[in-house]
Amino acid sequence: AQSVSQHNHHVILSEAASLELGCNYSYGGTVNLFWYVQYPGQHLQLLLKYFSGDPLVKGIKGFEAEFIKSKFSFNLRKPSVQWSDTAEYFCAVRNTGNQFYFGTGTSLTVIP
Amino acid sequence: GAVVSQHPSWVICKSGTSVKIECRSLDFQATTMFWYRQFPKQSLMLMATSNEGSKATYEQGVEKDKFLINHASLTLSTLTVTSAHPEDSSFYICSAGAYGYTFGSGTRLTVV
């Protein structure tokens, strides 16, 4: 069975600090990996996705993620966060049936 | 791009009544749609996979008689919460698209 772990439940950073959110997955098949963001009161928005190829994936709003197969990880990074990045971040694995399995989420608070 | 619309955005109902939530693919056809539930401060959990013209498949622990899913056309799937109880209060989200990663804006259900 597939599962996704996000170890950071709540992260607090000052503006301009660098961000790295951990994501580890457990899935025996070909992995498709995603990061979503959910701003307060809003719906899920896709940040980036990895299907194959270059393991370093660049997404919207300056976010990137690196797929490390040997570590079963897909960590999200941003070199300099802004107050507007305050949101909930979800890592997800998609199986071959297009079903998504989400991590428990990381709440990011950026202090101006 | 692919757009998934949900209706209503929020609904309040009395305990014991039934509520129907619609998920529409606006600019594409979707033979498969997915329904998720998100409890406060928790992650999204896959409830069921909705298949056009056939029965939905439910995840373990999800009561199929309580959460009725109908996918009668290639652009519409409905989730009916039957005999709703306060513990069914949650945020329900659907997804569709060629790869299942376009999410609707969600429906906040409150059962009083």
Which tens digit of pLDDT belongs to each residue from A87-112? 999 999 988 877 888 999 999 999 99
- H-assigned helices in chain A: none
The shortest C-alpha distance from A66 to chain B (Å) reads 19
- In this prediction, residues B43-63 reach a mean pLDDT of 91
- Whose tokens are 């059962």? That residue is B111
pLDDT value of position A100: 87
Q: Which chain B residues have a beta carbon less than 8 Å from that of A47?
A: none
- C-alpha pair distances (Å), A105 with each of A21, A28, B52, B89: 10, 22, 31, 20
Tally C-beta pairs within 8 A across A and B.
Answer: 46
Would you state the pLDDT for residue A51?
92
Task: Please judge whether A99 and B46 are an interchain contact, meaning their C-beta atoms are less than 8 angstroms apart.
Answer: yes
Is the pLDDT at B98 greater than 90, yes or no? no
pLDDT at B105: 87
Check pLDDT > 70 for residue A21. yes
Residue with tokens 């300056």: A62
Task: Kindly tell me if the per-residue pLDDT of B41 is higher than 80.
Answer: no
Nearest CB neighbour to B103, from listed A32, A44, A101: A44
Q: Where is mean pLDDT largest: A77-81, A103-107, B35-39, B42-46?
A: A77-81
Contacts of A49 in chain B (CB under 8 A): 101
Q: Of B14 and A98, which is predicted with more confidence? A: B14
Write down the H helix ranges in B1-112.
none
Short-list A2, A17, A65, CA closest to A37: A65
The single residue listed with the structure tokens 């009544």 is B17
Q: What is the rounded average pLDDT of the residues B69-84?
A: 94
End-to-end CA distance of chain A: 41
Rounded CA Rg of chain A: 13
pLDDT at A74: 96
Residues A69-80, mean pLDDT to the nearest whole number: 95
- In A8-86, DSSP assigns E strands to 10-14, 19-21, 24-26, 32-38, 44-50, 56-58, 64-68, 73-78
Specify the 3-state DSSP secondary structure of A62.
helix
**Is the pLDDT at B42 greater than 90, yes or no?**
no
- Name the most confidently modeled range: A6-20, A39-53, B22-36: A6-20
Supply the pLDDT for residue A58: 97
The 10 Å Cβ neighbour count of residue B18 is 12
B100 pLDDT above the threshold of 90: no
Q: Which of B7, B42, B43 to mutate to test the interface with A (most CBs of A within 10 A)?
A: B43
What residues of chain A lie within 8 A of the CB of B93, using their CB?
A: 43-44
Mean pLDDT of chain B: 91
Mean pLDDT of A40-63: 92
Residue A46 contacts B, CB cutoff 8 Å:
yes
Question: Does the CB of A99 have a partner CB in chain B at under 8 Å?
Answer: yes
- Give me the pLDDT at residue A96, please: 81
**Average per-residue pLDDT for chain A:** 92
